Amino acid sequence: MRNSLIAKATVAVLGAALLAGCSSSSDSTPKAEDTGPVSLTYWAWAPGLDKVVDIWNKKNPNIKVTVKKQASGDDLVTKIITASKAHKAPDLVQAEFQALPTLVSNDVLADISSEAGSAKSEFADGVWQQVTLGSDALYAIPQDTGPLMFYYRQDLFKKYGLTVPKTWDDFAATARALKKKDSKRSLTTFSSNDAGLFAGLAQQAGAKWWTTSGDKWNVGIDDAASKKVADFWGGLVKEGAVDNQPMYTPAWNKALNTGTQIAWVSAVWAPGVLTTAAPDTKGKWAMAPLPQWSAGENKTGSWGGSTTGITTDSKHKAAAAKFATWLNTDPEAVAALVKNGGIYPAATTAQTGSALSTAPEFFSNQPTFYTDAAAIAKTTAAGAWGPNVNVAYSAFKDAFGKAAQNKTDFTSALDSMQSTTVADLKKQGFTVG
């Protein structure tokens, strides 16, 4: 039977392969770039990316890029690492900033400093440093960032006589005031599902979760800045001043849509989410800078943000780098990314460029939306990532989930997150200071 013939052949191949050993050493000899037509694959999840790629393909018939849309998240990182182990990774991949050390550590991303190093001038220092990992190499081109800001229901704030908080103390006061006036509503919720948000808030407070000293890694998840943030939110949850349910659930959508929650600490890409999550509230929200820890300060953190990396498996690194640079710095490309993907570009000129000259439709009541956003983006503190961010995020979900549910001490949750992260680093074989 045909089945068994193919199967027998496969067994022979696989058996031989297994016997030969399953080690994967990556090809280190650089190949001369082909001059003929080139076909590239790109794993990404940003919505509408294929429309942007269409523009490139029309202009560059010799370098054809195909987008393969993936599901975002932790599993994508593992999927690409697995594919890389089997030497089947695509040429280009969308990678979040926090995933870069993990990917580089698994030899997934190639060093493209010679092909694309000149792009440095297009990005802010804090952003660029996250794609070089503090070295001379370049591992990815920044695509979008997510500076944090404060969104609130203008109409409901007026109704309840609330003022827009400028410091976190004001924020706590506003939350309590709202509860007094209407116990059924909350200012916002603390979500144990979204470690990225907490990381951004910690960044604002000055935390640096992973640092290196020589060959050693240091984990500072429980440093003073992060403790401050954890205690602040833990207190509010315990008091009942804010809700404790996860975000991005149907219940959360409903809460935003019906005004049960009237504010959202979120990033610059919030309009896109609000459009789908709370369509009935269009035009009722406003955006303000994130509350600060001391009056007069001007800092913010970042939630999310991704880059375009070129894999070590790619056989056309120069062509891929050319595309990646175009995608993230060319005005036409960035405008298309903004329009189709609803992202906020990392390229500095684009942030004040024509693509962002009008406010998003959802915020038609705030015409200066993007000008304000650009000003806030300038104050973003850089993220400090390490090779096991996934583990830390997962530990966050467990520890803070329990703490939020039981309204217990957030500091011990933070300590638990720290110890899990350190233990995992050691287990993986890293030297931890």
Residue closer to another protein (CB basis): 194 or 222: 194
Window 314-333: residues binding another protein (CB under 8 A): none
Residue closer to another protein (CB basis): 236 or 292: 236
By CB under 8 A, which span of 300-308, 318-326, 328-336, 374-382 interacts with another protein? 300-308
By CB under 8 A, which span of 75-83, 318-326, 355-363, 372-380 interacts with another protein? 75-83
Q: In this chain, which of 117, 206, 240, 272 binds another protein, going by CB under 8 A?
A: 272
By CB under 8 A, which span of 44-52, 165-173, 346-354, 356-364 interacts with another protein? 44-52
Closest approach, Cβ 44 to another protein, in A, equals 10
Closest approach, Cβ 183 to another protein, in A, equals 16
Per-residue three-class SS string for the chain: CHHHHHHHHHHHHHHHHHHCCCCCCCCCCCCCCCCCCEEEEEEECCCCHHHHHHHHHHHCCCEEEEEEECCCCHHHHHHHHHHHHCCCCCCEEEEEHHHHHHHHHCCCECCCHHHHHHHHHHCCHHHHHHHHCCCCCCCEEEEEEEEEEEEEEHHHHHHCCCCCCCEHHHHHHHHHHHHHHCCCCECCECCCCCHHHHHHHHHHHCCCCEEEECCEEEECCCCHHHHHHHHHHHHHHHHCCCECCCCCCHHHHHHHHHCCECEEEEECCHHHHHHHHCHHHCCCEEEEECCECCCCCCCECEEEEEEEEEECCCCCHHHHHHHHHHHHHCHHHHHHHHHHHCCCECCHHHHCCHHHCCCCHHHCCCCCHHHHHHHHHCCECCCCCCCCHHHHHHHHHHHHHHHHHHCCCHHHHHHHHHHHHHHHHHHHCCCEC
Residue 280 within binding range of another protein, rule CB under 8 A: yes
Closest approach, Cβ 22 to another protein, in A, equals 7
Window 361-380: residues binding another protein (CB under 8 A): none
Interface size with another protein, residues (CB under 8 A): 104
Q: Which of 119, 78, 116 is nearest to 95 (CA)?
A: 78
Window 143-182: residues binding another protein (CB under 8 A): 144, 146
Contact 227, 412 (CB under 8 A): no
Q: Which residues are within 8 A (CB) of 367 and not within 5 positions of it... i.e. 6 or more apart?
A: 358, 359
Closest approach, Cβ 244 to another protein, in A, equals 7
Closest approach, Cβ 414 to another protein, in A, equals 16
First to last CA, the chain: 61
Site string for another protein, 385-414 (x = CB under 8 A): --xx-xx--x--xx--xx-xx---------
Residue closer to another protein (CB basis): 379 or 408: 408
By CB under 8 A, which span of 118-126, 246-254, 322-330, 332-340 interacts with another protein? 246-254
**Burial of residue 95 (number of CB atoms within 10 Å: 0-12, 13-18, 19+):** buried
Q: In this chain, which of 162, 338, 343, 347 binds another protein, going by CB under 8 A?
A: 343
Residue 304 within binding range of another protein, rule CB under 8 A: yes
Window 100-119: residues binding another protein (CB under 8 A): 101-102, 104-107, 111
Closest approach, Cβ 298 to another protein, in A, equals 24
Interatomic CA distance for residues 315 and 91, integer angstroms: 8
Site string for another protein, 207-236 (x = CB under 8 A): -----x--x-x-------------------
By CB under 8 A, which span of 20-28, 160-168, 172-180, 349-357 interacts with another protein? 20-28
Residue closer to another protein (CB basis): 12 or 224: 12
Residue closer to another protein (CB basis): 78 or 357: 78
Residue 428 within binding range of another protein, rule CB under 8 A: yes
Q: How many other CB atoms are there within 10 angstroms of residue 189's CB atom?
A: 23
By CB under 8 A, which span of 8-16, 123-131, 358-366, 408-416 interacts with another protein? 8-16
Interatomic CA distance for residues 209 and 198, integer angstroms: 12
Closest approach, Cβ 63 to another protein, in A, equals 19
Residue 17 within binding range of another protein, rule CB under 8 A: yes
Residue 254 within binding range of another protein, rule CB under 8 A: yes
Residue closer to another protein (CB basis): 160 or 430: 430
Residue 257 within binding range of another protein, rule CB under 8 A: yes
